[in-house]
Structure 1
Amino acid sequence: MHGFGKTPGVTGAVAMAYASVTESVALRAARYEGSGLHREAFTLAAEAFGEELGRVRPAGRVAILRERRLAEAGETEFLKTRSGLLSVGDETGEGEPETDLAIEPVEGLSLLVKGQEGSLVALAASPAGTMQRMPDMYMSKIIVGPRAKDRIDLDAPVSENIAEIAEANGRKPSELTVAMLDRDRHENLIEEIRATGARIRILPEGDLTPAISVGLRGADLHAVIGIGGAPEGILAAAAIKCLGGGMQARMWPTQRSQVEELREYGFEDPEKKLMLGDLVRGDDVVFSATGLTGGGTLRGVRYFRGGGRTHTVVMSSSPRMIRFIDTIHALEPEAGARGFQI
């Protein structure tokens, strides 16, 4: 694929182009902080992604994009408010698609519209045909940083995984912190982790944000464990591949129809344990995320008169590169006429 992993300068230019995409989307989507408007925020972000990706080379095809979510009342809510927005299978840019794209218009949608910390926008890209396509359903995951990447086993009891992660990091289990979503399905898992002495960070929404933190040395998170969204799992896999960490996963269908759907996506064995290389194949991956409401690794969008400021992490796996970008954007002609305040 053109521009991925061959020439560092070209790869850096591609990565920075994707960083500009997530920054532009974040500047627009962050206006919905505290608005209470779930579908409107998602629609605007998806629309912005479509517009911005149309300007980026190489051309791509959308492989992963969550288009629905489980609403607070328990029913499935389709997030799009109109047709014609970016969808799975859509092609972006000009020419033959050279990349697979995984897009998260808003990670932590409820966090954004409630004005809570932890929401972001994210994008991952890899050569065409290398991202595992999958339906929008649940996935069981265990995600760790580089030191413990060869020590985890999704089939092992969680207590054994905690012991292995602790030993790999030169710590006691009581010195670890594990992140998971605040869901009823995790009640037994929470009790098992508590029994090891490890601390637990129980999150209201969003398991991509902690996955980024887990991969960074010196971060205060050491693992993400539990059942979350499969689309976010692919994005997490892309980020972890860039960060040198490890991940194992298994699809978690809740209905017979979902088992059949998995077979349509090529999963002959729906219970197969998926390794990091099964989720994103090869070594050429670019990942970019821009904070919306801050918290964790990234600060949120901050607006000033006529402009805004964003905080982005962009990374690639070949060559391995991680860059944090703090950018001031002049959105109106008069912005910064008297200088920018840092």
Structure 2
Amino acid sequence: MKLSKVEDGRHPANLHRTLTLEMVRVTERAAIAAAEWRGKGDEKAADDAAVNAMKSELDRVAISGRIVIGEGEQFECDELYIGQPVGAGQGPDVDIAVDPLEGVTLCAKNQPDSIVVLAMAERGGLLNVARNVYMHKIAIGADYAPGTVHVDWTATENVRSLAKAKGVPVSEITAIVLDRPRHAGLLEELRMAGVSVKLLSDGDIAGVIHAVNTEDTGVDIYLGSGGAPEGVLAAAALRCIGGQMQGKLILDSPDKRLRAREMGIEDANRVYDVTELASGDVLFSATGITDGSLVDGVRLRRDTVETSTVVMRSWSQTTRWIRARHAR
């Protein structure tokens, strides 16, 4: 993975680097729990196992944490709900965004790219969004000039601008898009423009990361709409590895607009960049459940379990891949 300088100025390192390893332990445990249900067709059981393991492990970490992006509202779920305190109750005040099972269908079907994701930031560092809110997203690598693409432009305008900045014809641009019925028009427009399209069956956090890592993945741009929580988690990763991203919330009902205002969002049409989605000192960890292009999946053996994790830190711009063996 090509790393690029994310910011010219260094903000204070308010989250101690030892927290990165604690985060790895959390995502590892959730991935192992979900892997026990891998390929068994029971999405709820897999998700419940990941949630319970993540909550249990989070409560061992020396933080005063608060879930700002979780499984839903307090009345919708038992654990990891928005506003729930987590951690041992000592240590730094932090906001936490979680996706205990990104790609729950992928896990249930034992298909690639199911992962556990956790982001941690200083209090107030992560945009608070509800679980049921979607977001228009666009992401490209860090090497392009600001303003090369924009979430409000058409897909054709974006890929033409990107191709010009890259110095290639549009036919040499590859876009990654979630394979959803709502994207039928987007896919038709991209293909009419001559763009090569890579479809994601699920897991758009990894999709955004692939789009900013063109050298390794061959993907130039992420386009389309997906979950707003996943957008914030992806932005947390980009704060650590570099890359450009914009997000615009889709608040298409009075209830969603009201909940957004309650969470501090006043402008429903605001376009957020990476630093507005995830600011300050940010940590990110993802552990594979099934094999994928970002990390390998859990290996369940007779006496041991092997996990593969990528963990990142914005302050040091460090990315580590950790392969661990656990007693079973």
Give the TM-score, by structure 2 length.
0.89
State whether structure 2 residue 193 is matched by structure 1 residue 196. Answer: yes
Residue 251 (structure 1) aligns with: 249
Which runs of 4 or more aligned residues in structure 1 lie more than 6 Å from their structure 2 counterparts after TM superposition?
none
Cα distance, 1:249 vs structure 2: 0.9
Tell me if the contact between 2:71 and 2:80 (Cα under 8 Å) persists in the aligned partners: no
Residue 275 (structure 2) aligns with: 277
Distance 1:260 1:321, change over 3 A: same
Cα distance, 1:61 vs structure 2: 0.9
Residue 70 (structure 2) aligns with: 65
State whether structure 2 residue 99 is matched by structure 1 residue 104. Answer: yes
Residue 338 (structure 1) aligns with: none
Map residues 31-180 of structure 1 onto 2, 5 A cutoff: 31-67=36-72, 80=77, 83=78, 85-93=79-87, 94-95=89-90, 98-136=93-131, 137-148=133-144, 150=146, 151-180=148-177
Give the Cα–Cα distance (whole angstroms) in 1 for the partners of residues 145 and 81 of structure 2.
33
Tell me if the contact between 1:149 and 1:246 (Cα under 8 Å) persists in the aligned partners: no
Candidates 262, 265, 268, aligned match of 2:266: 268
Tell me if the contact between 1:111 and 1:119 (Cα under 8 Å) persists in the aligned partners: yes
Cα distance, 1:281 vs structure 2: 2.2
Structure 2 unaligned regions, length at least 5: 1-9
Distance 1:330 1:165, change over 3 A: farther
Distance 1:171 1:125, change over 3 A: farther
Candidates 313, 316, 329, aligned match of 2:313: 316
Residue identity opposite 1:49 in structure 2: M
Residue identity opposite 1:166 in structure 2: A
Residue identity opposite 1:232 in structure 2: E
For this pair of structures, how many residues does the alignment match? 313
Residue identity opposite 1:204 in structure 2: S
Residue identity opposite 1:112 in structure 2: C
Cα distance, 1:179 vs structure 2: 1.4
Cα distance, 1:149 vs structure 2: 6.4
Deviations 1:139-196 (A, max 9, x none): 1111122123622211222122112333444543222221111222111111111122
Identity rate, percent: 35
State whether structure 2 residue 29 is matched by structure 1 residue 24. Answer: yes
Give the Cα–Cα distance (whole angstroms) in 1 for the partners of residues 32 and 60 of structure 2.
17
Tell me if the contact between 1:210 and 1:296 (Cα under 8 Å) persists in the aligned partners: no
Give the TM-score, by structure 1 length.
0.85
Give the Cα–Cα distance (whole angstroms) in 2 for the partners of residues 59 and 112 of structure 1.
31
Cα distance, 1:119 vs structure 2: 0.5
CA RMSD of aligned residues (A): 2.1
Deviations 1:224-250 (A, max 9, x none): 111100111110110111111111111
Give the Cα–Cα distance (whole angstroms) in 2 for the partners of residues 222 and 102 of structure 1.
26
Residue identity opposite 1:208 in structure 2: I
Cα distance, 1:96 vs structure 2: 6.6
- Structure 2 SS opposite 1:300: coil
- Structure 2 SS opposite 1:305: coil
Distance 1:187 1:20, change over 3 A: same
- Structure 2 SS opposite 1:32: coil
Residue 206 (structure 1) aligns with: 203
**After the TM superposition, which of the residue ranges 231-240 and 301-310 deviates more from structure 2?**
301-310
Give the Cα–Cα distance (whole angstroms) in 1 for the partners of residues 44 and 120 of structure 2.
25
Give the Cα–Cα distance (whole angstroms) in 2 for the partners of residues 280 and 7 of structure 1.
15
Distance 1:21 1:5, change over 3 A: farther
Deviations 1:267-299 (A, max 9, x none): 2221111222221123x1110001111121211
Residue 230 (structure 1) aligns with: 228
**After the TM superposition, which of the residue ranges 123-132 and 95-104 deviates more from structure 2?**
95-104
Cα distance, 1:7 vs structure 2: 6.2
Distance 1:66 1:197, change over 3 A: farther
Give the Cα–Cα distance (whole angstroms) in 2 for the partners of residues 309 and 169 of structure 1.
40
Residue identity opposite 1:234 in structure 2: V
- Structure 2 SS opposite 1:296: coil
**After the TM superposition, which of the residue ranges 260-269 and 41-50 deviates more from structure 2?**
260-269
Give the Cα–Cα distance (whole angstroms) in 2 for the partners of residues 327 and 266 of structure 1.
40
Give the Cα–Cα distance (whole angstroms) in 1 for the partners of residues 222 and 35 of structure 2.
26
- Structure 2 SS opposite 1:297: coil
